[in-house]
Structure 1
């Protein structure tokens, strides 16, 4: 079969809309007619080539659509079902066996390297392979092949365009607060970075009943959005002077939790001085340098009992956490669609440019 796809031919280049060939799904695979797909910062990280993936490639990992065909052995969905696509996992390592698929021992190759485990590709053009399987889906295309483990069946009345960004960014931010850092009612939360993941962390703080939610974000429009979805305080780091003093002016004894979505190392380096005793720091944002290091003042860290941990996908498990988020949204408790802007799929490059220049917070591409 053939499909329209946004192909990236070189690192950090523009996406080219092309008609390419897509194979039939193999055992355990599901072909999906994509109706909507979110654009996530991780797509741009993979698209930079910094992680070692091959080119040309088709990216995209927040797809939502309708099952077109299934491979042998697939039992969870059938053609015609609406589905949400998320991250991939192996299903048989110790972490998968303990229902922690976000920390699958094979997470990096199965999600970041844009290839099947056997090195093959589902996509090609004129007989030449195009790298795919980005997060087990490569959904910057009208047709995508996913794996049974990274597909969630949705109700027949599901709004695919609305739910698409739950597959990665939204679940990462909300889950970082609710699942990774296990926020408790009344605690103090600091979120660094007001993009889609950071604003989702703010929403997670609201769901948890945090008493104080502070957002650090340089763009005024994103600070305004943060307040509109539940931040009790906002800080402009460019005007705040010493960032530790600015945080402690709001939370005198420090904050209980920090979720960093920025990867901005100068700010991250100050976070150990922002936490309260037994405070927790969650690292979500990808730093600009792959060898970036977060220094910890050992004596102080020991005496306050601080915790710092990396967070992948908000500790989500697809069949458990995503339905919870869908229910929260349906009940009006998770209004992430307030910071979503929809674009026709053919305007993918414009959507990415608008995200980079601050015009848009979370783009979702819509197929006709």
Structure 2
């Protein structure tokens, strides 16, 4: 197969030839047609300190082969690949697989759960099996459990971010915040996760306000039907619900002040571990502060819901996406960081 082999700070990203391991009984081989670029990929790359890695965790493509124990999937199925979970622990059994007790080992160890590698380059194992897939490549090995079948008429570049970024934003709205018609949602940060959250809330009849310093992201939010502001210092109307995608403690503290009494703020951004908030204000106004991982979603449940909203014309996910070739990885990263694209999706050669 062909893949982007990443080394933090080691020059431009390039495509290389690589080899995939044999399928295990519970795995499938997917020919990748599109894969989203997520902030988590870049954070993980920085943490690897130069170790060679194949990342990517928002893959979409066609199943080419299935393991001997796989049921419910067949060669030729179009699938979205999402995060991996054990399916057996108390959190998974309760319908909250994003909080799986084995989540770190299953998604971020760079190997299968049994310690075996899925990808080698020049005969040497590299950090891979990222979120059970490593989809910055022409092909990926993934556990069948993580694959959600989708209709063939949904473009791969639209569906791919449903594996994580769009799932996180939409799930935070539908599962964690759960606003109703007549409520007002503030989304802080209009990138891929924030834009998906805004679009989902609008689709279910909620008034939305988006705050982002970048003009192009505010323009996108307004085109979706949201009000947009450049700063939390602007005269933002009181809101009943809020979503922070920045992970910045100062922004989170400021966002809390915009909430009406008994309002709720959900956090989905990865930032510094410590910060200051006004605990007295939280208590006296009955505010709620909630963490939210992967939209607290079951991929097999929420992905079909979002797909049908898209197919019905109510959730314009295609307007959030900019496509780049997999060989243009560095340009894609720059476009996303600069805000020229809300959500970057990479397309392998020949896909």
Q: Deviations over 1:283-337 (max 9, x none)?
A: 01111x3x333x3323322221111111111111111110000000001111021
Distance in 2 (CA, whole Å) between partners of 1:261 and 1:9 is: 26
**Cα distance in structure 1, aligned partners of 2:186 and 2:10:** 32
- Residue pair 2:9, 2:50 contacting (<8 A) in 1 also: no
Judge conservation of contact 1:282–1:309 (CA < 8 Å) in 2: yes
Q: Which runs of 4+ in 1 moved over 6 A?
A: none
Aligned 8 A contact 1:53 1:113 in 2: no
Aligned to 1:89: 85
Equivalent residues of 1:11, 1:47 under 8 A apart: no
CA distance in 2, matches of 1:236, 1:355: 18
Unaligned runs of 5+ in 2: none
Task: For structure 1, list consecutive stretches of 5 or more residues without a partner in the other structure.
Answer: 238-242
Tell me if 1:324 matches 2:342. Answer: no
Q: CA deviation at 1:274?
A: 1.7
2:15 corresponds to which residue?
17
Equivalent residue for 2:263, pick from 267, 279, 284? 279
Q: TM-score normalised to the size of structure 1?
A: 0.90
Aligned counterparts of 1:346 and 1:299: Cα–Cα separation in 2: 51
Alignment check: 8 A CA contact 2:173 2:197 kept: yes
Q: With the length of structure 2 as denominator, give the TM-score of the two structures.
A: 0.95
Partner of 2:205: 209
- 1:303 is matched with 284
Please say if residues 178 and 208 of structure 1, whose CA atoms lie closer than 8 Å, have aligned partners that are also in contact.
Answer: no
Matching residue of 1:342: 323
Counterpart residue number, 2:67: 71
Give the match's secondary structure for 2:8.
coil
Displacement of 1:54: 8.1
Asked if 1 retains the 8 angstrom alpha-carbon contact of 2:63 and 2:77, the reply is yes
Residue of structure 1 aligned with 2:337, choices 329, 347, 356: 356
Deviation (angstroms), 1:13: 5.9
Q: 1:204 to 1:53 in 2, by over 3 A?
A: farther
Aligned residues: 349
Q: Tell me if structure 1 keeps the 8 A contact 2:60–2:79.
A: yes
Alignment partner, residue 127 of structure 1 = 123
Q: Distance in 2 between matches of 1:133 and 1:149?
A: 14
8 Å contact 1:260–1:282 — kept in the other structure? yes
Counterpart in the other structure of 1:240: none
